[in-house]
Structure formats: C-alpha cells, structure tokens
Amino acid sequence: MFRSPFADETIPAVSIFEFLFGDLSPEDAARLALIDGTSGAETSYGALKAQAEALAGALAARGIGVGDVVALHSPNVPAFATVFHGILRAGATATTINALYGPEEIATQLRDSGATMLFTVSPLAGNALPAAEAVGLPADRVVVLDGMEGHPNLRDLLTEGHAAPEVSFDPATHVAVMPYSSGTTGVPKGVQLSHTNLVANVLQCNPVLDVTHEDRLLALLPFFHIYGMTVLLNLALTRRAALVTMPRFDLPEFLRIIQDHACSYVFIAPPVAVALAKHPLVADYDLSRVRQVFSGAAPLDAGLAAAVETRLGTRVRQGYGMTEASPVTHVLPLEQGPISTGSIGVPVPNTEVRIVDPETGADIERPASGQSAAGELWIRGPQVMLGYLNRPDATAETIDADGWLHTGDIATIGEHGEFFIVDRLKELIKYKGYQVAPAELEALLLTHEAIADAAVVGVTDEEAGEIPMAFVVRAGEAELDEAAVMAFVEAHVAPHKKVRRVAFIEAVPKSSSGKILRKDLRASLGG
C-alpha cells in the first residue's frame, strides 16, 4: 500500500456551498469570480453568492429540495456557476449533462437520473427540448437560461424574490452531484458524489495546485465534466481566483482570451497541448502571463509537455483522476525534483494507492530503481464516490468490500514514488479526453438492420489520442459501406462518440464466455 507523501487534510462536515461561500469576507465579495471570455462581462463573488441563493429560493418555491434531481445542460458560461451552486444550495442534486449530447442521449440521462427540472441554453435547445418532451417535462420545468418564448429564463427566476430555503442533510451521504460515467466499461451510469466527496477533493488539491486569488484561470474544460467541476469551478472559487469562461474550443479565440484576459493558469487536455506545441498561430499572441499549464483527462506525453514548456516559457504539469473519485487522485508535485513530467505524479493527501497484479491479485511493490511491474491501480480515500445510481451490481464491481476503487487503469510505480499510467484494463476509449464506451456504440450498431454483429475499439490517433473504430459484420448479403455506418452512428450520438473508422469482418472474435476479444481486433491492425 502506498500513501500520499503529503499530510492529511482536515475535511469539515459541511455542504460544498457552505465550504465555498460560508466565510465570504467583504474583501473577497468584491473580487471577480467569473469573466465571460467572449463578451467580457464580469461577476463578483458577492453577486455570484447572491444569485445562487436567489435561484435556490426560486427552486424551493417550486417544491424542489432534498431528494430532487435537477439537470444542467450548458457549456461554460458564467450562468453555469449560478445554476450549479443554486441547485446545491437548495438541497437538490445536480446532474450535469454533456453539452455535446443529442436528444436521445439527453433523454436517457434525464430518465435515468429522475430529473424533474432542466436548465439549458438557447444554442442547445434544439437537442434539449425534444429530450425534455420525450421524458414528459413540461415547458415550465425547462429553463432556457438566456431566454426562449414559452419557457422561463434565468432572469425570471433570480428576480422572483424568494429567500434561500433552510435545508438539512448529512453532507457525507447526501448526493450533491451526479455526473455520468461509463466506469470501466458499459453504458454511462450516474456517479453519486456527496458534498463531502467534493469538499474533500478540493482540499486534497491544496499542496499540489498553487492557485491564488491573484490568478485568472482559463475555464475551457467543461464544467459539466468532473475535471472542470472540481479542478476549475470549485477549486478556483475556494481560492477566490477569477474564472475566464470559454464555451467551446477554437484555437484563435483560445489564444485571444488568454492574451486579452491575462490568464495565468491554463487547464487543458492533451489535444490542446499538441496545438500549443506545434501550431504556428501561437506565435502571434502574447501568452507571457501564463505561469502554468495543467493537463488532465488523458495521459500527457513527457516530450509533448517539454515542447509546450519550451515554446511558452512556462511550467507544464499533469494529474490523474476519474469521475468516480471526484476526480483527483494523483498530481505531479509543485517541487517536482527527479520525477518525470510524463508521470501522473504522486497521490494527493488522504489517499491510499495499491498496484495489483490483475492475474494473481498480488500487490506490486515499489522498486529500488526504475519502474515496477505493471498492475491495476486501486484507490481509497474520502473522494471516492458513494456508488452508481440504482446499480449495486456495477458499484460492487468497481468498489470492493474494503473500499478500494478499482480504476481499470494499468500503472507502474517509479523509484521516487511517482506513478505512470501505461495501459488500460478497462475498455473505455478516450477521444480528446472524453469518455467513449464501446458497449454503447456496439448496442447502437446492432440496431441497424444491415448489421449482424459489431465491435468497437479505440485506435491511436496523434491529434485525438484515440478514435473509435468499428468492426462490422454485415447481415447476409446486405449492402453497407463505411460511410453509411459512420452516418448512422453520427445521427444518434454526440460528436465525440462518432465512429471515425470502419472495417468489415466475417466474425467478431469472442471468448468462450462471449466477451469480445478487443486485443485481437487491435492486433489485426498491427497495434
């Protein structure tokens, strides 16, 4: 068993709202909390707290509180923070929905989570409104933040004048947020994260993320994803830093916002690092205020990190986590010493780690030199989820009786106590940092009348990290080409889940138990 090299943090038994805003001083209330990177509109900490409390009052007036689930479907705009923390202040549970989802995917999450209200924005309404209708949400329970005829908007709710309600719950067991994750395999499941999980993970970042009230953080990574939710939104707010929001990635706009808003801390996923290292446009902008680039969501190559450091004259670090761990479990320390930038660093405070041989179940020890043998990474700590919504079977497969979270990632430990992710035991595909579950795409492909069987694997791609590739068995003499398969999938899923390569095969290789042999499929490609 390996423990964090850092002293444990004391985790208070309070809600995440109380943790972030309970001790807001007049000086901090006047600080900038949010800057709209596109328009430049500013929101102070005092205004954000007041707006969240006003929204909580409006929700309570509609009968929403402890035990209710409210869905939030929005890109990174300042209003996201108001709604997110307003939902939590009301005592309800927020389920955040991927802004890229189509109607079917949104409806599935609304139905599974039991959401009784939905917040969205007009640019996403074309997908959100059909989904709300499909699950029976009435128009007055679908709030379009920036306004749309027939639906309430955010201004309507904030100006109703209802006081924030008195709420009572146990922060250690009450579900604060419920993002969806595919876990190690399968279709997305509701990850139940308590208020204590969220508070703990922000505190666990104390010795490894040196964000201060003087920093401006570029908020490109989506708040609906646990990385953006914890490492950007909640961490920045507790440090009284300013978040500069960016709703979608566009390289010129990304560079302009960093330059014009003097961003000092930039959080990215590896595909953005490729652009920072190689794209000629980067030279046209003043990025001198950036003192740190932090990468997450997928492994960052040490060579790529070094190229970004050299070009920008800044520090590049990375960390590791998963939705089921709120998400942070490892971070490259501030005092890096001999630890490689290509590692995920060391465990954060209050965190225990094991590397377990998946074949024998034996623990793998830290070596005297070099790296250890590889094994599955197991995590235990206060950031580990309560479990999956209505899925005790999947919960038991992921968290064992002793509280160890089985990550499904294959790791090694180095001589300096640092960890490296070297492979995945789990089947998830990581496309530009987004999770893509092969089982979800396979189930969709099998609904096509011309497809008898199908399997999906991730294949390496320099820009995206991995892309989904489908191996398809045609039904009988059916005429079906690669373009038709890709178009069929594209019509039903978010853009990051699209199949980007197709191969037609005679039969999908399977084990005697019927499990798809994905390694055989990858081997057929020569990798």
Question: With helix as H, strand as E and coil as C, how does 427-460 read?
Answer: CCEEECCEEECHHHHHHHHCCCCCEEEEEEEEEE
| Overall average pLDDT of the 149-165 stretch | 97
* pLDDT over 90 (residue 165): yes
pLDDT of 515 > 80? The answer is no
Strand 315-321 and strand 292-295: pairing? parallel
For residue 205, CA distances in Å to 8, 31, 358, 369 come to 11, 22, 29, 28
What pLDDT band is residue 299 in, cutting at 50, 70 and 90?
confident
Residue 466 lies in a domain: yes
pTM over 0.75: yes
Average pLDDT over residues 399-418: 95
Q: Which of 168, 191, 220 is the last residue of a domain?
A: 168
Establish if 454 belongs to a structural domain: yes
Does 79 reside within a domain? yes
Beta bridge partners of 315: 292
CA-derived radius of gyration, the chain: 23
- Tens digit of pLDDT for each residue in 206-253? 999 999 999 999 999 999 999 999 999 999 999 999 999 999 889 999
N residues, the chain:
527
User: Distance between CA 494 and CA 315 in Å, rounded?
Assistant: 33
Answer whether residue 84 is part of any domain.
yes
* Contact in structure between 490 and 502 (CB atoms under 8 Å): no
Q: Is residue 514 pLDDT above 80, yes or no?
A: no
- pLDDT tens across 389-400, in order? 999 999 999 999
- Domain of 59, CATH number, reads 3.40.50.980
Task: Please report whether residue 97 resides in a domain.
Answer: yes
Single out the residue in 168, 197, 214 at which a domain terminates.
Answer: 168
Domain with 485 in it: what CATH number?
A: 3.30.300.30
- Per-residue confidence (pLDDT) for residue 20, from 0 to 100: 98
Task: Flag whether 83 is in a domain.
Answer: yes
Contact in structure between 79 and 43 (CB atoms under 8 Å): no
**Cα–Cα distance, 129 to 73 (Å, whole number):** 11
Mean pLDDT of the chain: 94
How many Cβ atoms are within 10 Å of 475's Cβ, its own excluded?
13
Domain that includes residue 499, residue range = 429-523
- Model confidence band, residue 187 (pLDDT cutoffs 50, 70, 90): confident
When mean pLDDT is compared across 111-120, 273-282, 328-337, 492-501, the lowest value belongs to 273-282
Q: Is the pLDDT of residue 154 over 70?
A: yes
> Does any domain span residue 308?
no
What are 226's two structure tokens?
């646990």
Number of domains in the chain: 2
- pLDDT of 358 reads 86
User: Tell me: the pLDDT tens digits for 310-335?
Assistant: 999 999 999 999 999 999 999 999 99
On whether residue 216 sits in a domain, the answer given is no
Domain boundary among 110, 144, 168: 168
Asked if residue 513 has pLDDT above 60, the reply is no
